Chain A
Amino acid sequence: AQTVTQSQPEMSVQEAETVTLSCTYDTSESDYYLFWYKQPPSRQMILVIRQEAYKQQNATENRFSVNFQKAAKSFSLKISDSQLGDAAMYFCAYVGAQGGSEKLVFGKGTKLTVNP
């Protein structure tokens, strides 16, 4: 079974600085998708970024970018120019490309604190 590991339960960053959140996963599949979700104090889960495993190019969304290392099964999230509104729980998630139910497997999350 696939697993997703986020080794940093908590991280902190100064406003305007850059922070990287780690995520590793275990799978025997060759084709899959990876996601980062953000859960602010309001508790709503918000999609931050999506990566397709067959694409070597790292996905970016404004201040958010990933470092996808397929061979190492690593998928880290970099947040540049951190803002107070970035404070949240961040979850890494994996889904295989086979099937159709899109059953995402989530990591346990990293709590990010942004200090003013």
Chain B
Amino acid sequence: SQTIHQWPATLVQPVGSPLSLECTVEGTSNPNLYWYRQAAGRGLQLLFYSIGIDQISSEVPQNLSASRPQDRQFILSSKKLLLSDSGFYLCAWSRGHSAGSPLHFGNGTRLTVT
């Protein structure tokens, strides 16, 4: 069966520090991968999605970047965190080239920028 791992679970970082959140998927090949952010009391905002290695699309211009160095690895990064980057970050995967395939989410990372 497929599993998705996301870490760390919680993170407290000072303003201006770098960020690296990692997500890996097991048990499937060529998945679509996603990074979402959920601000307090709000819905999910799609940040990045990827349909293949080094194929990444950004949905919202911002202080963050994403990379996919391997088929089942997705990394969310920042060179310098802002206070506004605080939130709950969710990684997700879905079957590639499969219309209507549901997203399967990781457990999320709670990021607090101080």
Q: In the docked arrangement, what's the CA distance between A42 and B108, Å? A: 9
Known: A103-B49, A104-B103. A45 touches B43 (CB 8 A): no
Contacts of B27 in A (CB 8 A): none
Whether B107 and A35, one on each chain, are in contact in the complex, defined by CB atoms closer than 8 angstroms, is no
In this assembly, does A97 line the interface, its C-beta being within 8 Å of a C-beta of chain B? Answer: yes
Contacts of B57 in A (CB 8 A): 101
Closest to A97 in B: B99
Whether B43 and A107, one on each chain, are in contact in the complex, defined by CB atoms closer than 8 angstroms, is yes
Chain A interface mostly helix, strand, loop or mixed?
A: loop
Q: In the docked arrangement, what's the CA distance between A31 and B59, Å? A: 23
Q: In the docked arrangement, what's the CA distance between A99 and B100, Å? A: 10
Known: A44-B107, A45-B105. A103 touches B46 (CB 8 A): yes
Whether A33 and B99, one on each chain, are in contact in the complex, defined by CB atoms closer than 8 angstroms, is yes
In this assembly, does B3 line the interface, its C-beta being within 8 Å of a C-beta of chain A? Answer: no
Encoded as 1 (CB less than 8 Å from any B CB) or 0, chain A from 75 to 116 comes to 000000000000000010001011011111011110000000
Whether A102 and B94, one on each chain, are in contact in the complex, defined by CB atoms closer than 8 angstroms, is yes
Q: How large is the interface on B (under 10, 10 to 19, 20 to 34, 35 or more residues)?
A: 20 to 34
In this assembly, does B86 line the interface, its C-beta being within 8 Å of a C-beta of chain A? Answer: no
Q: List 20 A-B contacts (CB under 8 A).
A: A33-B99, A43-B88, A43-B108, A44-B107, A45-B44, A45-B92, A45-B103, A46-B105, A47-B102, A50-B102, A91-B43, A100-B32, A100-B51, A100-B97, A101-B49, A101-B51, A102-B32, A102-B103, A103-B49, A109-B43
Give B residues with C-beta under 8 Å from A: 32, 34, 42-44, 46, 49, 51, 57, 59, 88, 90, 92, 94, 96-108, 110
Give A residues with C-beta under 8 Å from B: 33, 35, 42-47, 50, 52, 91, 95, 97-98, 100-104, 106-109
